Structure 1
């Protein structure tokens, strides 16, 4: 029995063709195959592909999400963003995703539990992304430093105060304050 093609999309750009296929393998596991096919001067084609298996889909989605959030942020800053996304702008990024996977806060949390991550890493998991100039952990460290390293001092602030940090807007500041409020309520009712 061969692999089954469940769904396909494709697009072309000049002499390049791209195919994104959602497939099912012989062992019933699903995977995504991304193929690039270049037309050669000889008339033939040269292809290369990347396969992402089902258990890693969440990494692929997370990476695309971070990439497009960063690109949109660059566009918002007037840097060009999605229209001018280039290898140099990605290579120069200092995001969490550029760290080794085992050092990223979410992966550390999964591997070592809540005790295996520090306060800044926990906050960074709430805010998701930092700014174009620093990642979410660095932004979280900045917030903690301003509060003297004390979560209760962050909790005492309002969303407008937290929104003064670069990369923190209303949504992210409210997420931080909501998490701290949940913790407070748990202590009160616990």
Structure 2
């Protein structure tokens, strides 16, 4: 759809579509993280974030509707690269310490998502689309909270010991 941008609105719409792709990629990544970890608390955390991500996807779809635009997903090569890097790292890592790799990938992804939403919120305000900015701010706030949770989990397992051995039944 966008071969060459001629207006700031086209750039914004393209970035909004890339954010939609980003969140769909993140949803797939969260399912993989949940399936890979052995720690029940991380499974629960990844599952809860997946549910939030579904809501963020809906918010992005609502943004398109509020703007009166067709939903068009644009490429998000960064999230594809982050997922590919995480998959490669997991394959190289002993299962007893894989959670450290999972959380590192989750941290990197959250930082990227925060940056994307900061740009979108700024540009929605500049466009005079306050209702769109409010939805994007909700997503940004959730991403900032998710970043804090991932950091806390990473700090906890680093302090407690990265290696994980499930308790005997």
Report which of the two has the higher share of strand: 1
TM-score by length of 1: 0.29
Report which of the two has the higher share of helix: 2
Q: Which has the higher contact order (CA 8 A, sep 6+)?
A: 2
Which one has a bigger Cα radius of gyration? 1
TM-score by length of 2: 0.31
